[in-house]
């Protein structure tokens, strides 16, 4: 019942990250009021459901790592992150998807998306987000010859979430990432993360991440 429309996700809105109800599906997308409880139920089902595979038909869930060109810290400012948020919102308005988790680091992004039923076209979505960001941002080198399309590393790293354990592991990896990359000492201190809304909704305790969650090798996450 959760994986067809309606479903809920994390969207970028205003200051900080916001969980917002929405309906995603093959029929015209219809936005609903903010349904925090529905998101909590969704998270619980994603992590507790005994047979995750059977919901794959209703839209697969993917973990992504997207890196800036030469790992430059293009996303290090609040202004840059706000620009990225606007780009994501615009793309989602035309090509909906659920954001399960998201963290923006200075030189890369980790995200977990669930796509609508019968839709696996994440590549176009990421391509548009990257292009929108490049077009909108006012980074000094934007006007340099050949740099217009060069803010991002070509392509991106993706992984199909295979089961509930994989989902939980990758959500933990994503939210712990600012500490892993030594940007902050505590997970809660990093502002550009869906972690805060997860705390508000009781998914994680505020002091979560005192030790690094077991996640396997970095190669399994793209960064």
Q: Under the criterion CB under 5 A, does residue 100 sit at the interface with Ni ion? A: no
Q: Which helix (H) or strand (E) element contains residue 108?
A: strand 108-114
Between 87 and 111, CB nearer to Ni ion = 111
The yes-or-no answer on residue 122 being catalytic is no
Q: Under the criterion CB under 5 A, does residue 177 sit at the interface with Ni ion? A: yes
Number of residues in contact with Ni ion, rule: CB under 5 A? 2
Q: Give the integer Cα–Cα distance in Å for 127 and 144.
A: 21
Binding mask 204-223 for Ni ion (x = CB under 5 A): -------------------x
Catalytic residue among 52, 122, 176, 192: 192
Question: Which has the closest alpha carbon to 178: 85, 81, 88?
Answer: 81
Q: Which stretch binds Ni ion (CB under 5 A): 21-29, 121-129, 146-154, 173-181?
A: 173-181
- Report whether the peptide linkage leading into residue 103 is cis, meaning its omega lies within 30 degrees of zero: no
For 13, the token pair is: 């809105």
Q: How far is the CB of 59 from Ni ion (least distance, A)?
A: 25
Q: Indicate the SS3 state at residue 144.
A: coil
Q: Under the criterion CB under 5 A, does residue 169 sit at the interface with Ni ion? A: no
Q: Give the integer Cα–Cα distance in Å for 189 and 182.
A: 12
For Ni ion, the binding residues (CB under 5 A) are 177, 223
* Catalytic sites, residue numbers: 192
């Amino acid at each position: 019942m959760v994986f067809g429309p309606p479903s809920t996700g994390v969207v970028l809105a205003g200051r900080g990250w916001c969980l917002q109800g929405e309906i995603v599906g093959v029929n015209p997308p219809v936005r609903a009021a903010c349904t925090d409880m529905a998101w909590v139920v969704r998270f619980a089902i994603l992590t507790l459901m005994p047979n995750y595979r059977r919901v794959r038909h209703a839209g697969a869930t993917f973990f992504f790592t997207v890196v800036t060109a030469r790992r430059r810290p293009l996303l290090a400012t609040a202004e840059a992150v706000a620009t990225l948020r606007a780009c994501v919102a615009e793309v989602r308005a035309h090509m909906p998807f659920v954001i399960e988790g998201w963290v923006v680091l200075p030189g890369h992004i980790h995200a977990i998306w669930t796509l609508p039923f019968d839709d696996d076209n994440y590549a176009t979505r990421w391509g548009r987000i990257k292009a929108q960001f490049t077009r909108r941002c006012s980074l000094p080198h934007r006007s340099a010859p050949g740099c217009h399309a060069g803010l991002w590393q070509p392509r991106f790293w993706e992984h199909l979430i295979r089961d509930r354990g994989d989902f939980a592991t990758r959500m933990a990896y994503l939210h712990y990432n600012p500490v892993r990359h030594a940007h902050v000492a505590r997970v809660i201190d990093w502002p550009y993360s869906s972690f805060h809304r997860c705390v508000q909704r009781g998914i994680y305790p505020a002091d979560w991440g005192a030790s690094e969650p077991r996640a396997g090798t970095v190669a399994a996450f793209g960064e």
